[in-house]
Chain A
Amino acid sequence: MREPEHRRKRAIATDLEEPVTAARNLAAKLGLEPYPVRYWIVDHDEMNELIAYGGFQRRYPHWRWGMQYDRQQKQDRYTGARAFEIVNNDNPSHAFLQESNSLADQKAVITHVEAHADFFANNDWFGLFTDRRSDSDDVDAAAMLERHSRAIEAYMADPEIDRSDVERWIDHVLSLEDTIDQHRPYRGRLERDVEPPDLDDDLQETLENLDLSSEVTSEVFDDEWLEARAADDGDGDPSTPETDVLGFLREYGKAYDPEEERAVELTDWQRDILEILREEAYYFAPQQMTKVMNEGWAALWESRMMADEAFAGDDEVVEYADHMASVLASPGLNPYSLGLALWQYIENVTNRREVVEHLLRVDGITWRTLTEDIDFDAVLDRLEPPAAIDSIDSASLSALETVPDAWVDADALEAARAGRIDVDRYPWRVLSYEGLARRHYSLVKPANRGVFERIGRDRLEELGRYIFDSDRYDSVDEAVAAVDFTAGWDRLFDVRESHNDVTFLDEFLTAEFVRENDYFTYEYSQATGQFHVASTDPEDVKRKLLLQFTNFGKPTITVADGNYDNAGELLLEHEYNGIELDFEQAKAVLERVFELWGRPVNLLTIRKELDDHDVEVAKRRNREPTPDERGVRLRHDGTETTVERVDWTAVEHLAADDVDYDTKPDEWLA
């Protein structure tokens, strides 16, 4: 690094030391439990490079990093969009801040990063990778990736190994990087016989607690899946269906030797690279599975710290608001705004439920009469945080004696009184988690005041059903006083622990949200040859969204048989959910799978076939033709790929008849 550059970065880093410490304290006060974070100041090019390499400084040599760098560079050249930060999932996490950010941006980024680091550390899906590794729960991702990088570099440099063979091998494996079993803990080997006995119970319980809709349950965690998991126990036989295609190939794969014209054992480097890439796929999977949640989570706490707790200075808050607005406003399916809205929804609805449940216990009030008997505005006024914690400065400290002890951090208050804490700058330091939850109680915020009123009768009835006659309150005041103000936050932390995007969207995406954000589904019309708006029904939108988040938005492919046709051929199956494969790509992937299996490979799937005549008729009548679903088998034998119709009985077990992702109405092309 050149000297002045180094000094410049050093200076920025020094300026940021204080905000970093303060942000960490605040995060802890708010209930976040982030991994330790190391911050680095990087320039624009370094930032682009880090983004291209997935947030790490060292990855194995591959052209796609170059491609991503190239794209990243063009993107900010042509669109002006720039990256502010990148943080990686590691313990400690490493966060990279761009040196050109303003101080307001840096602070925002730091608060954002702390929330991400909390998510990495506490979300169970991330735990699948870390928990079952060796003896510690350290991720140590940077070290792992660097180790991988060194190993692959060594293979490439090995004079015995042709570098281009290594590169081709990596490409073959990467074609399958999403065909892993991301719902299972990562294990170095595909040890299908050592399933910890408690796992399935846990899982069953977790699933029940998730309150999932039947669609998700049937699509993701169906009986078959559970059975398959159970069946995996004690069954190392390669003829059992296996979702971890990469793991299967690592155990049983071979390479094709064109000179000997037969399958040969994988060389050590081939098997090693397969394992390296599989491990990385498992490492990166949780990030893909929780994109909406994770980004929303970071945006939520960022805004809480920056705006609500005035972490941004007075002069910085406007700039911060601008920045936030532009991030949230980017078009398309924006994980930030979608995630943030859902988290806010969870907080509000939990708080509302807590209040309503208390109100329903006031004597004389039932779910039928609640909306008439209760003056919502009066209740909201009572829910306002008391002045003593709403605005805190060095002159008002004595007022804190009037609030419950649980709201106050007694040690900090002591320190503040002694002048050891700058309470004018960091008023939150004298409050506890409970105090802060009270201070930022969601229902009374101007944007959320309507939430309370909007509660529907059916919801009230539902809540009313569980109210027992005991524990009655004499008055509304008494009921409100008993409200647990941390209910909303507690729920947030629970959800961030157990959910992934699919379950998150399924449980919390409301019809209201879909309507407010003008979401719609679109479908392709065979009759007109283009995409049309198909439905604005929230249920349809949700179903379509879930499709796109389930299994990384990719079709589910499993290994059905490692000795297909009794000839050592590989049989893959596509678990058909009504949406057919991109056949061109599937054929190209099969060619690569052949390289990893060394023997012919097959793929059973279902294809939608359209009769030209039907399409013609449909066009004339402005209707959609109805395709025939037929079973097909794709096969690649090393030289050619064939596609062959098979009898329906051969694929019947693959077809899911309880899901329907087609949102086309009967009449839609007026």
Chain B
Amino acid sequence: MGLRDDLERFRAVGEDRREDLADFIQYGDLGHSGADEINVPIKIVSLPEFAYDRRDRGGVGQGDGDTPDVGQPVGQPQPQPGDGDEEGDPGEEGGEHEYYEMDPEEFAQELDEELGLDLDPKGKTVVEEHEGPFTDLTRSGPNSTLDVERMFREGLKRKVAMAFDENFVREVCKVEGITPREVFEWARGERLPVSMSWIERAHESVADERGTWASIEEVEAGVDRQPVQQRIRRDGIDHVPLRRDDERYRHPEIVEERERNVVVVNIRDVSGSMRETKRELVERVFTPLDWYLTGKYDTAEFVYIAHDAEAWAVEREDFFGIRSGGGTKISSAYELAAELLEAYPWSDWNRYVFAAGDSENSSNDTSERVIPLMEEIPANLHAYVETQPSGNAINATHAEELEKHFGPDDEDVAVTYVNSPDDVAGAIYDILSTESEPDE
């Protein structure tokens, strides 16, 4: 108990009350999160209490240097005595908000669980060969690496295999008129690992007592045989024969560490037809994808391409904000993507090319330019996300054409439709579950 315990309990409580991840992606405020830290709002961590309705209560504020005019709107009310943390309507709340912080790794893991995904990132570049644990064995090597335990074990096995109940054999030698050869024959029949010379020695040493038993059957009836294990337990191991044959030297295994690198190309149509809602939908799909892939791979690089009739590379901060007035030519973006991807050779990098837009494209551009380019650019996955909040526009055919060409089951191309935030989680699932098995 104590602070650590209480902190842990708080985190656990926070986790329980954390906004459902799918809800967060679809409807939550993504703005509080950065590229490396995802902040999922926590519903209510404070306990409920009898409180005044915040709106009905109003409050007292303090002007900054002068008293404001009556009727002037006040922004977020200042915290008032008696305020707990409470949940109100979105937008009505003050800056006080609790967040559950997770890094991209945790995000990816949680999303896997939430959506039942199973994306296994592929290692591409061999960055390092290093010595793993000493698990391989050779017949020679420095003394310090000699596997003594193994040698002893082998010797012990041999000893157990060679041991036999000497007393019993000796008793057999005492049978009236028996010859060493007869004892040996009997021992053979009993599968005892005893040599002829040992029997001859024993036979001679009990010559005086010969006649103690009338027959072998009588010995078997009168003397208890003792199994090997029992004897070892009683007398100790005595001597374990170690042999050169059993010497083994341990040496390290060579492990190839493959770094899992990913480059994600995000392409967004910024032409005039892409209005506010469409932009937001794209952001809702792309941002979690970025987090997810960042969490799954060791190194994640992002390329952002905005396009109308032409394409240009932009920074992430600008990517979702850009608007332009031009027409649309999706192939321009793929041409630029192909060019930029040269810096990330397919042999070393996993590649994801995600494009989003409202499916409006210049005539024939899709079939004549985009599809061939998509086929030419090797990638783990090509995806197109159509965002059409108002349903289908007549000339919005890009997604449809892609689907027709590649077929719904193509493992390298995913086409999804996002018409409202409700579709976001489904789209993300479609995209991430489409990836084909590695070709290697």
Cβ contact within 8 Å between B6 and A63: yes
Smallest Cβ-Cβ distance to A288: which chain B residue: B81
The reply to whether the CB of A555 lies closer than 8 angstroms to some CB of chain B is yes
Contact flag A554-B48 (CB < 8 Å), given A579-B56, A582-B86: no
Give CA–CA (A515, B63) in the complex, Å.
10
Q: A522-B58, A553-B81 are in contact. Are A175 and B49 (CB under 8 A)?
A: yes
Q: Is B229 an interface residue (CB 8 A)?
A: no
Known: A331-B78, A332-B78, A531-B77. A520 touches B60 (CB 8 A): yes
Q: Is the CB of B71 within 8 A of A670?
A: yes
Which residues on A sit within 8 Å (CB–CB) of B77? 522, 531
Contact between chains at A547 and B51 (CB < 8 Å): no
A67 touches B82 (CB 8 A): no
Question: Would you call B74 an interface residue if the criterion is a C-beta within 8 Å of the partner chain's C-beta atoms?
Answer: yes
Residue numbers in A under 8 Å from B53 (CB-CB): 579-583
Q: Does A557 make an interface contact (CB < 8 A)?
A: yes
With A and B bound together, what is the CA distance between A519 and B64 in angstroms?
9
Tell which of B5, B14, B61, B98 has the most Cβ of chain A within 10 Å: B61
Does B393 reach chain A (CB closer than 8 Å)?
no
Kindly identify, within residues 120 to 177 of chain A, every residue whose CB is under 8 Å from any CB belonging to chain B.
153, 156, 167, 171, 174-177
- Give chain A nearest CB distance to B318 CB in angstroms: 26
Pick out which of these stretches binds chain B: A100-108, A429-437, A585-593, A647-655: A585-593
CA distance A52 to B14 in the complex (A): 17
Q: How far is the CA of A112 from the CA of B45 in the complex (A)?
A: 33
Q: With contacts A555-B50, A581-B50, A585-B51 known, is A533 near B74, CB below 8 A? A: yes
Residues of chain A within 8 A (CB-CB) of B70 are 520, 532-536, 665, 668
Expressed in whole angstroms, the minimum distance between the Cβ of B17 and any Cβ of chain A is 11
Cβ-closest chain A residue relative to B42: A67
- B325 adjacent to chain A (CB < 8 Å): no
Residues of B within 8 A of A52 (CB): 3
Could you give, for residues 239-272 of chain B, a 1 whenever the CB lies within 8 Å of some chain A CB and a 0 otherwise? 0000000000000000000000000000000000
Q: How far is the CA of A522 from the CA of B71 in the complex (A)?
A: 9
Given contacts A521-B59, A535-B70, contact A579 B78 (CB under 8 A): no
* Bound-state Cα–Cα, A52 to B48, Å: 20
Say what secondary structure dominates the interface of chain B: loop
Q: Which of A63, A174, A557, A584 has the most CB of B within 10 A?
A: A63
Quick one: given A63-B10, A331-B78, A547-B57, are A536 and B48 in contact (CB under 8 Å)? no
- CB B315 to nearest CB in A, in angstroms, measures 25
Residue A552, interface by CB 8 Å:
yes
| Distance, CA A547 to CA B57, complexed state (A) | 9
Instruction: Determine the chain A residues whose CB is within 8 A of the CB of B56 once the complex forms.
Output: 524, 579-580, 608
Point out the residues of chain A lying under 8 angstroms from B72, CB to CB. 532-533
Least CB distance from B58 to A in Å reads 4
For B12, give the chain A residue with the smallest CB separation: A63
A183 CB → nearest B CB, Å:
17
In the complex, B66 has a CB within 8 A of chain A: yes
Residue contact B58 to A66, C-beta cutoff 8 Å? no
A532 partner residues in chain B, CB cutoff 8 A: 70-74
**Interface residue B79 (Cβ < 8 Å from any Cβ of A):** yes
Q: Is the CB of B49 within 8 A of A61?
A: no
- The answer to the question of B394 belonging to the interface, with a C-beta cut-off of 8 Å to chain A, is no
> In the assembled complex, how far is the CB of residue B21 from the closest CB belonging to chain A, in whole angstroms?
21
B143 within 8 Å of A (CB atoms): no
Whether the Cβ atoms of A555 and B67 lie closer than 8 Å is: no
Note all chain B residues with C-beta closer than 8 A to A670: 71
Q: Is the CB of B73 within 8 A of A530?
A: yes
Output the nearest chain A residue to B82 by Cβ-Cβ distance. A553
When distances are taken between beta carbons in the complex, the residues of chain A under 8 Å from B64 are 331, 518
Binary CB contact string for chain B from 62 to 104 against chain A (1 if under 8 A, 0 otherwise): 1111111111111001111111001100000000001000000
CA distance A582 to B55 in the complex (A): 9
- Contact (Cβ within 8 A) B45 A67: yes
A294 close to chain B: CB less than 8 A: no
Contact-size category for A = 35 or more
- Assess the A69–B63 pair: CB atoms within 8 A: no
In the bound complex, do residue A541 and residue B60 qualify as a contact, i.e. CB atoms below 8 Å apart?
A: yes
Provide the residues of chain A in CB contact with B160, threshold 8 Å. none
- Measured between alpha carbons, how far is A589 from B47 in the docked complex, in Å? 8
The CA-CA distance from A524 to B53 in the complex, in Å, is 11
CA A167 to CA B6, docked complex, whole Å: 11
Query: Considering the chains assembled together, what is the distance between the CA atoms of A453 and B79 in angstroms?
Result: 37
B7 within 8 A of A: yes
- Taking a contact as CB atoms under 8 Å apart, the answer to whether A552 and B82 are in contact is yes
In angstroms, Cα B59 to Cα A69, docked, is 28
B277-322 with Cβ < 8 A to chain A: none
Interface assignment of B150: CB less than 8 Å from any CB of chain A? no
A287 to chain B, nearest CB (A): 13
**Nearest CB to that of A572 among chain B residues?**
B50
Q: Report the minimum CB–CB distance from B297 to chain A (whole Å).
A: 29
| Candidates B11, B50, B67, B79; contact of A66 at CB < 8 Å | B11
Let me know if A66 and B6 touch, CB within 8 A: yes
Asked if A645 is at the interface (CB within 8 A of a chain B CB), the reply is no
Q: Known interface pairs A520-B63, A523-B58. Does A69 touch B81 (Cβ–Cβ under 8 Å)?
A: no
Smallest beta-carbon distance B269→chain A, Å: 34
Closest to A577 in B: B52
A589 touches B48 (CB 8 A): yes
Residues in A21-65 with C-beta less than 8 Å from chain B: 49, 52, 61-65
What CA separation (Å) do A70 and B42 show in the bound complex?
Answer: 14
Most chain B CB atoms below 10 A, which of A62, A524, A608: A524
Which residues of chain B are within 8 angstroms of A588 by Cβ–Cβ distance? Answer: 48
| Closest chain A residue, CB of each to CB of B57 | A579
| Bound Cα distance from A581 to B48, whole angstroms | 12
Would you give the shortest CB distance from A132 to chain B, in whole angstroms? 27
Whether the pair B50, A585 counts as a contact (CB closer than 8 A) is yes
Q: Within the assembled complex, what's the spacing in Å between the Cα atoms of A670 and B69?
A: 11
B80 touches A557 (CB 8 A): no
Query: Which residues of the partner chain A approach B3 to less than 8 Å between Cβ atoms?
Result: 49, 52, 65-66, 69
In the bound complex, residues from chain A placing their C-beta under 8 Å from that of B11 are: 66
How far does the alpha carbon of A176 sit from the alpha carbon of B80 in the complex, in Å?
A: 20
CB closest residue in chain A, given B8: A66
Residue in B51, B68, B74 whose CB lies within 8 Å of A554: B51
User: At the interface, yes or no: A669 with Cβ under 8 Å from chain B?
Assistant: yes
Within the complex, the shortest CB–CB distance from B217 to chain A, in Å, comes to 64
Could you tell me the distance between the alpha carbons of A524 and B52 in the complex, rounded to whole angstroms? 13
CB closest residue in chain B, given A71: B98
Q: Out of A175, A331, A515, which one reaches B47, CB within 8 Å? A: A175
Measured between alpha carbons, how far is A542 from B71 in the docked complex, in Å?
Answer: 19
Chain B min CB distance to A651 (Å): 16
Q: Are A70 and B10 in contact (CB under 8 A)?
A: yes
A353 in contact (CB, < 8 A): no
Contact partner of B67 (CB less than 8 A), chosen from A179, A518, A661, is: A518
B40 to chain A, nearest CB (A): 15
| A residues near B14, Cβ cutoff 8 Å | 67
Q: Does B405 contact A (CB under 8 A)?
A: no
Residues of A within 8 A of B5 (CB): 61, 66
Give the residue of B9, B49, B80 whose beta carbon is less than 8 angstroms from that of A333: B80
Residues of B contacting A518 with CB < 8 Å?
A: 62-68
Instruction: Collect the chain B residues with CB atoms within 8 Å of residue A186's CB.
Output: none
A101 and B3 CA atoms in complex are apart in Å by 24
Pairs of residues from A and B, 7 with the lowest C-beta to C-beta distance, nearest first = A553-B82, A518-B63, A66-B10, A588-B48, A66-B6, A524-B55, A66-B7
* 27 sampled A-B residue pairs with Cβ under 8 A: A61-B2, A61-B9, A62-B6, A62-B9, A66-B9, A67-B10, A156-B1, A175-B47, A175-B48, A176-B50, A179-B50, A331-B78, A521-B60, A524-B54, A534-B58, A547-B57, A548-B59, A553-B83, A554-B49, A554-B51, A555-B52, A579-B52, A582-B50, A584-B48, A586-B50, A661-B57, A661-B58
- Sample of 6 more A-B contacts, CB < 8 Å, known A61-B5, A69-B3: A536-B68, A553-B81, A557-B50, A579-B56, A582-B86, A668-B71
Query: Which A residues have a C-beta under 8 Å from some C-beta of B?
Result: 49, 52, 61-67, 69-70, 153, 156, 167, 171, 174-179, 291, 331-333, 515, 517-524, 528, 530-536, 541, 544-545, 547-549, 552-555, 557, 574, 579-586, 588-589, 592, 608, 661-663, 665, 668-670
